[in-house]
Structures are given as C-alpha cells and as structure tokens.
Amino acid sequence: MFLEKQLIMTIGITQNGWELTKEMINNSINTFAQAPIVLNSRQEYKNYNNPFEDYLNNCTVIGVISSTPNIIIEENNVYADILLWEHKKNFWKDKFDNWCIEVSDDKKSFKLQSIEVF
C-alpha cells in the first residue's frame, strides 16, 4: 500500500533531550530512501546504543520509506512517501512514534536507520 506525504519526523527537541534541526534533515535526506518502518512491540522510547542489526532483529518490519521518498518539510514536520506491506498496514497510524538514527561525528547529519510505530 503506497501512501503519500506521511509524517515521519518532527524537528525540535527529542524525548531524550537531543535537538534535531532542519539543517540536519537537509544534510541527511539521502539516507531516507528505503529505510524500514518497524513495529516496536516494546512500545517504549529507547536511546539505542546496541548495533542496529540487533535492534532490527527484535522488531517487525511493516514497510519502508519510498525509494524516491519525496521529502517535504513544512514548519517543524517532515513528511515522506511510504510503502506499507499490505498484511501489516493496520499498524501504521498516520504518523511515526519514534525513529532510530546514527548521528555523524560532526553532529551535522545522520543516517536514518528506521521509523518506529508502537
């Protein structure tokens, strides 16, 4: 199921006190394509310090950000086109709950690892 312009991030202070800026988003857009959208069955926010593969093995992939994601930034909201697996589409609630990123050493960009829903 293909959905256009879905809320995948918000710009600002995160739940663990880290600031995500518009500049960081713009510097990182090239990492968004095909990032997995996962169901986090623990339904809790976490500061992920374990290798991403370990984290992903404990989640259910329900879809991906489109390979041509059409990233749109409006005010403090970041939108992208997404593709959901038909048999998992009911887990998507029209927006993200969390995301997992790997921040660059200079803190000016990141690699989007996943978008989470609870």
Which residues lie below 8 Å from residue 102, measured CB to CB, with a gap of 6+?
52, 110, 111, 113
65 is in which domain, residue-wise? 2-117
What is the chain's mean pLDDT, rounded? Answer: 87
The pLDDT confidence band at residue 7, using thresholds 50, 70 and 90, is very high
pTM of the model: 0.85
**What is the rounded CA–CA span in Å between residue 87 and residue 111?**
28
Segment 83-112 shows an average pLDDT of 92
The domain tally of the chain equals: 1
Q: What is the pLDDT of residue 52?
A: 57
Contact 80, 2 (CB under 8 A): no
Q: What is the pLDDT of residues 43-75, one digit of tens each?
A: 555 555 555 556 667 778 999 999 887 899 999
